[in-house]
RNA sequence: GCGCCUGUAGCUCAGUUGGAUAGAGCGUCGGUCUACGAAACCGAAGGUCACAGGUUCGAAUCCUGUCAGGCGCGCCA
């Protein structure tokens, strides 16, 4: 028994009715069951008749009338349907009875905290790789967006039943590490950093720390190694403060050291997707749709970043993951086709790889976009942002827009502790419910949800019905958000729940409500709303406070 | 030049397996505390869904083209 049953039941009934009209054949695409734009149009509506009109060769409204008759038969003996109407171009609108709502609430209560969708039929082992920022400096707000997004996507995928792991790929090999090392070494000896080197206060601080530790600035390997280790420590600390915990960290350098890169190259050569030209080893990625072939091993014998990344992705596959999700920055989107090609060249379906492209975060203050931190003059670090607006607001404002669009993070709005600030608005609703339930007394609310309460004689208020319908949307919202990798949908949904709750609270007295069973029924509804808000915020990694 | 992404209210954005009069937040203007949290609620103003064609009962959504913006097109990572 899952919380979706009430909706699923209706959907099945519509489906069945449509099937009957077509002599048993299923309708394609599936008929919709959605909440119509206006309350006069019923509680739910379906477009089934419009879909059936063409194959049946009849007018949509005629089909709709037949469908209504069929639905009456389908749901007739029960008391759930108030009435059915044909409207507009051929919509079938369903008006549901209080009994239907009461039953829906009971089922939600039975579900307890398991409000999400039923586990999907074919769960996958998924590896989500995200952040993977170069270990040459502290995490910036951009990395923070990757972290918030990747983490929320993992939570969503888990919520629908996948087996998911979070991974951070550490690019601790290659040219940028050498530049990083020479930059620190230069700061240690007081000389000029290299042309394309790293600057900023943190480099000076690292230099000082290494000097104290007695690291020899002439030994670049040691300087780089220690520098990376210290940066990684800091990155971990920042992520942990942000509430993001990776299950695994894979080092690029380690891939080289254990021969994974050579092995991957050998496998590619064996598959004869490579060739030599101008002294370099090339991967024929054009065979798989890339615009040009790519170098795997340079003429000087050094493997490219791509070579290591092929080895890395091969390693992911060998660990048994059936789906690989890479969260990439917008400036890396051109990289995706080669990676797909490489995977295809390894005789694996390239579709196991999914690349999600993240756009930038702009920090907005005083109506102006800025990326610079005031103090350090460097890019705004995630830590500075967290100092300023806190973890919950930071996560919210990084998640409430699609990953596909740049985010303008308005610091003044994010700092505000009022309903202007959507994250406080949602959290406030949760705290307000908690307060109401406290008022009712310990355990009274739990009891209201679970006990067999007498059915109230008074009819449900419109605001109560709206709230119930909203709560019933939760499983579909989670499914949809997970399928589209779109946690921002959950932000919008949680605002809607909060808004519907406030409307309910305005119209309906809870504690001390007159009428037998009314108080109990409304307390149960409060409890259900509270659980749903907590679950929604939980998917975003945001806390649901009992008091504010 | 080629490729990917984007163009919806004053601002920032939701809204794609095609559905009814296109939504939210902020901002602006105006109202509401003798019921359980006013950190709230209600209302108003605000739109040629970039533009032009096409597909059909129906298009912000699908197709084609144009314009504008972002990003990418390394033997960098």
Percentage of residues of chain A with pLDDT beyond 90: 61
| Residues A298-340: tens digit of each pLDDT | 999 999 999 999 999 999 999 999 999 999 998 888 899 899 9
> Helix, strand, or coil here: A122?
coil
Look at residue A371 in the predicted model and tell me its pLDDT.
Answer: 62
Look at residue A76 in the predicted model and tell me its pLDDT.
Answer: 67
Using C1' positions and the CA of A548, the closest nucleotide is B39
Q: Which of A401, A429, A408 is nearest to A540 (CA)?
A: A401
- Sequence-distant contacts of A95-101: CB under 8 A, at least 24 apart: A95/A42, A95/A43, A96/A43, A96/A44, A98/A459, A98/A460, A100/A6, A101/A460, A101/A464, A101/A465, A101/A468
Instruction: State how beta strands A323-329 and A125-129 pair.
Output: parallel
Residues A429, A526: contact at Cβ < 8 Å? no
Q: Which of A94, A104, A37, A36 is nearest to A68 (CA)?
A: A94
Cβ contact A62 with chain B strand, < 7 A = no
Terminal CA-CA length for chain A: 35
Q: Which of A35, A2, A115 is nearest to A532 (CA)?
A: A115
Cβ contact A134 with chain B strand, < 7 A = yes
| Residues A349-389: tens digit of each pLDDT | 998 999 999 988 888 877 666 665 554 456 788 999 999 99
**CA→C1' distance for A488 and B59 (Å):** 25
| Residues A510-519: tens digit of each pLDDT | 998 888 889 9
| Residues A439-454: tens digit of each pLDDT | 888 778 778 887 777 7
Percentage of residues of chain A with pLDDT beyond 70: 96
Look at residue A216 in the predicted model and tell me its pLDDT.
Answer: 96
Look at residue A375 in the predicted model and tell me its pLDDT.
Answer: 47
Cβ contact A301 with chain B strand, < 7 A = no
Taking the C-alpha atoms of residue A273 and residue A280, their distance in angstroms, rounded to an integer, is 14
Residues A111, A1: contact at Cβ < 8 Å? yes
- Strand order, beta sheet including A294-297: A274-277, A280-283, A294-297
Taking the C-alpha atoms of residue A535 and residue A548, their distance in angstroms, rounded to an integer, is 18
What mean pLDDT is predicted for residues A259-274?
A: 93
What mean pLDDT is predicted for residues A101-118?
A: 90
Check residues A135 and A548 and name the one with the higher pLDDT. A135
Cβ contact A475 with chain B strand, < 7 A = no
Using C1' positions and the CA of A294, the closest nucleotide is B75
What mean pLDDT is predicted for residues A94-100?
A: 91
Give Cα A206 to chain centroid, integer Å: 35
**CA→C1' distance for A139 and B60 (Å):** 37
Cβ contact A541 with chain B strand, < 7 A = no
Q: Which residue is nearest to nucleotide B58 (CA to C1')?
A: A89
**CA→C1' distance for A153 and B7 (Å):** 27
| Residues A76-91: tens digit of each pLDDT | 666 777 889 998 888 9
Contacts of A206 (CB under 8 A, 6+ apart): A184, A187, A227, A230, A231
Q: Which nucleotides of B are covered by protein (CB under 7 A)?
A: 2-6, 12-27, 35-37, 39-42, 57, 70-77
**CA→C1' distance for A36 and B8 (Å):** 21
Residue A3 confidence (pLDDT) above 50: no
Strand B-contacting residues in A 266-285, CB cut-off 7 angstroms: 277-280
Q: How large is the ipTM? A: 0.93
Using C1' positions and the CA of A28, the closest nucleotide is B17
Check residues A311 and A36 and name the one with the higher pLDDT. A311
- Assign 3-class secondary structure to A472-509: HCHHHHHHHHHHCCCCHHHHHHHHHHHHHHHHHHHHCC
| Residues A460-489: tens digit of each pLDDT | 998 999 999 999 999 999 999 999 999 999
Q: CA dihedral defined by A497, A503, A506, A507, rounded to 10 degrees?
A: -120
Residue A139 confidence (pLDDT) above 70: yes
Strand B-contacting residues in A 80-119, CB cut-off 7 angstroms: 87-91, 93
**CA→C1' distance for A405 and B47 (Å):** 21
Strand B-contacting residues in A 204-263, CB cut-off 7 angstroms: 252
Contacts of A69 (CB under 8 A, 6+ apart): none
What mean pLDDT is predicted for residues A52-69?
A: 88
* pLDDT interval class at A1 (50, 70, 90): very low
DSSP A304: P
Distances (CA, A) of A56 to A12, A49, A51: 21, 10, 9
pTM value is 0.94
Q: Which of A381, A365, A364 is nearest to A373 (CA)?
A: A381
Burial class (CB in 10 A: 0-12, 13-18, 19+), A158: middle
| Residues A150-208: tens digit of each pLDDT | 999 999 999 999 999 999 999 999 889 999 999 999 999 999 888 888 888 899 999 99
Question: Encoding tokens for residue A293?
Answer: 């072939």
Q: What is the mean pLDDT of chain A?
A: 90
Centre a 10 Å sphere on the Cβ of residue A245 and count the other Cβ atoms it contains: 10
């Amino acid at each position: 028994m899952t919380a979706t049953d009430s909706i699923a039941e209706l959907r099945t009934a519509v489906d069945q009715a449509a099937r009957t009209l077509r002599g048993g054949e299923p309708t394609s695409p599936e008929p919709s069951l959605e909440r119509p734009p206006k309350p006069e149009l019923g509680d739910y509506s379906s477009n089934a008749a419009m879909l059936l009109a063409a194959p049946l060769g009849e007018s949509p409204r005629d089909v709709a009338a037949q469908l209504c008759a069929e639905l009456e038969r389908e749901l007739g003996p029960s008391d759930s349907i108030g009435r059915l109407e044909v409207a507009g171009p051929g919509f079938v609108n369903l008006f549901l009875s209080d009994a239907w709502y009461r039953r829906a609430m009971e089922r939600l209560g039975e579900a307890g905290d398991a409000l999400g969708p039923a586990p999907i039929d074919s769960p996958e082992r998924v590896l989500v790789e995200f952040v993977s920022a170069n270990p040459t400096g502290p995490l910036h707000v951009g990395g923070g967006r990757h972290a918030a997004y990747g983490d929320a996507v993992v939570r969503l995928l888990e919520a629908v039943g996948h087996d998911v792991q979070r991974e951070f790929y550490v690019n601790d090999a290659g040219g940028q590490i050498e530049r990083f090392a020479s930059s620190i070494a230069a700061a240690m000896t007081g000389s000029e950093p290299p042309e394309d080197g790293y600057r900023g206060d943190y480099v000076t601080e690292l230099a000082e720390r290494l000097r104290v530790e007695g690291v020899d600035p002439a030994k670049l390997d040691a300087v780089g190694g220690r520098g990376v280790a210290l940066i990684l420590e800091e990155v971990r600390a920042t992520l942990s403060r942000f509430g993001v915990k990776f299950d695994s960290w894979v080092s690029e350098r380690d891939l080289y050291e254990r021969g994974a890169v050579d092995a991957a190259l050998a496998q590619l050569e064996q598959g004869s997707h490579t060739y030599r030209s101008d002294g370099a080893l090339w991967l024929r990625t054009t065979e798989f749709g890339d615009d040009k072939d790519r170098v795997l091993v340079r003429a000087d014998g050094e493997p490219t970043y791509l070579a290591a990344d092929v080895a890395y992705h091969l390693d992911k596959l060998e660990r048994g993951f059936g789906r690989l999700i890479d969260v990439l920055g917008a400036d890396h989107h051109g990289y995706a086709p080669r990676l797909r090609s490489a995977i295809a060249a390894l005789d694996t379906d390239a579709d196991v790889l999914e690349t999600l492209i993240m756009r930038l975060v702009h920090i907005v203050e005083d109506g102006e976009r800025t990326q610079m931190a005031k103090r350090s003059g460097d890019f705004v670090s995630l830590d500075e942002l967290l100092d300023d607006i806190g973890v919950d607001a930071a996560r919210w404002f990084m998640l409430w827009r699609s990953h596909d669009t740049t985010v303008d993070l308005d610091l003044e709005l994010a700092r505000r502790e009022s309903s202007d600030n959507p994250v406080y608005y949602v959290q406030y609703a949760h705290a307000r419910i908690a307060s109401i339930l406290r008022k009712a007394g310990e355990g009274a609310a739990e009891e209201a949800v679970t006990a067999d309460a007498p059915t109230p004689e008074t009819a449900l208020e419109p605001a109560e019905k709206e709230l119930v319908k909203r709560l019933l949307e939760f499983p579909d919202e989670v499914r949809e958000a997970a399928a589209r990798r779109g946690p921002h949908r959950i932000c919008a949904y949680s605002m809607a729940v909060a808004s519907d709750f406030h409307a309910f609270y305005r119209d309906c007295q809870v504690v001390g409500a007159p009428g037998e069973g009314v108080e109990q029924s409304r307390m149960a509804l409060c409890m259900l709303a509270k659980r749903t808000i907590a679950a929604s915020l939980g998917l975003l990694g945001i806390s649901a406070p009992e008091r504010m």
